[in-house]
Amino acid sequence: MKRILSLTVGFALLGAGGAYAQGTLDTVQKKGFVQCGVNGGALAGFSAPDSKGVWKGIDVDLCRAVAAAVFGDANKVRYTPLTAQQRFTALQSGEVDVLSRNTTWTITRDTSLGLNFVGVSFYDGQGFMVPRKLNVKSAKQLNGATVCVQPGTTTELNLSDYFRANRMTFKPVVIETLPEVLNAYFSGRCDVFTTDVSGLVSVRGSRAPTPADHVILPEVISKEPLGPAVRHGDDRWFDIVKWSLFAMIEAEEMGLTSQNIDQQASSKDPAVQRFIGATGDFGKMLGLDNRWALNIVKQVGNYGESFDANLKPLGFERGLNQLWNKGGILYAPPIR
Partner 1 sequence: MKRSWLYQAALLAAAGLVLWFFAWNTAHNLETRKIASGFGFLWREAGFEIGETGAIAYGAADSYLRALGVGLWNTFRVAAIGVVFATLLGTLIGLARLSPNWLLAKLAGAYVEVIRNVPLLVQLFFWYAIISENLPGPRDALQPWPGVFLSNRGIVFPTPWSTPVLSGFNFVGGVTLTPEFAALLVGLVTYTAAFIGEIVRAGVLSVGRGQVDAAYSIGLARRAALRFVVLPQALRLIVPPLTSQYLNLAKNSSLAVAIGYPDLVSIANTTMNQTGQAIEGIAIIMAVFLTISLSISAFMNWYNRRVALKGARQ
Binding site for partner 1 (CB under 8 A): 2-3, 6-7, 9-10, 13-17, 20, 84-85, 88-89, 92, 108-109, 111-114, 134, 142-146, 151-153, 156-157, 159-161, 163-164, 170-177, 180-181, 183-184, 187-189, 191, 231-233
* Minimum CB distance to partner 1 smaller for 86 or for 290: 86
d(CA 189, CA 171): 11
Whether 77 contacts 64, CB under 8 Å: yes
Task: Give the DSSP letter string of 8-59.
Answer: HHHHHHHH--GGGTT-HHHHHHHHTSEEEEEETT-BTTTBEE-TTS-EESHH
**Residue 167 DSSP code:** T
Assign residue 119 a region: left if phi > 0, alpha if psi is -120 to 50, beta otherwise? left
- Taking the complex as a whole, how short is the minimal distance between the CB of residue 335 and partner 1, in angstroms? 29
- Taking the complex as a whole, how short is the minimal distance between the CB of residue 206 and partner 1, in angstroms? 20
* Minimum CB distance to partner 1 smaller for 65 or for 148: 148
- Taking the complex as a whole, how short is the minimal distance between the CB of residue 54 and partner 1, in angstroms? 29
- Taking the complex as a whole, how short is the minimal distance between the CB of residue 66 and partner 1, in angstroms? 20
- Taking the complex as a whole, how short is the minimal distance between the CB of residue 105 and partner 1, in angstroms? 14
Provide the 3-class DSSP secondary structure of residue 111: coil
* Minimum CB distance to partner 1 smaller for 157 or for 335: 157
d(CA 215, CA 136): 9
* Minimum CB distance to partner 1 smaller for 187 or for 266: 187
Helix 292-299 / helix 58-71 crossing angle, nearest 10 deg:
140
* Minimum CB distance to partner 1 smaller for 9 or for 77: 9
Query: Can you point out the beta strands (E) in 50-207?
Result: 55-56, 77-82, 98-99, 115-117, 122-124, 126-131, 145-149, 170-174, 192-196
d(CA 234, CA 3): 29
- Taking the complex as a whole, how short is the minimal distance between the CB of residue 101 and partner 1, in angstroms? 13
* Minimum CB distance to partner 1 smaller for 2 or for 312: 2
Q: What does the angle CA 18 – CA 3 – CA 45 come to, to the nearest 5 degrees?
A: 85
- Taking the complex as a whole, how short is the minimal distance between the CB of residue 17 and partner 1, in angstroms? 6
- Taking the complex as a whole, how short is the minimal distance between the CB of residue 267 and partner 1, in angstroms? 43
- Taking the complex as a whole, how short is the minimal distance between the CB of residue 212 and partner 1, in angstroms? 19
d(CA 264, CA 297): 12
d(CA 334, CA 243): 10
d(CA 89, CA 113): 9
* Minimum CB distance to partner 1 smaller for 161 or for 213: 161
Closest CA to 297 of 221, 336, 244, 225: 244
* Minimum CB distance to partner 1 smaller for 153 or for 299: 153
What does residue 51 show for φ and ψ, rounded to 5 degrees?
-65, -20
* Minimum CB distance to partner 1 smaller for 184 or for 320: 184
Closest CA to 42 of 57, 27, 32: 57
d(CA 323, CA 11): 44
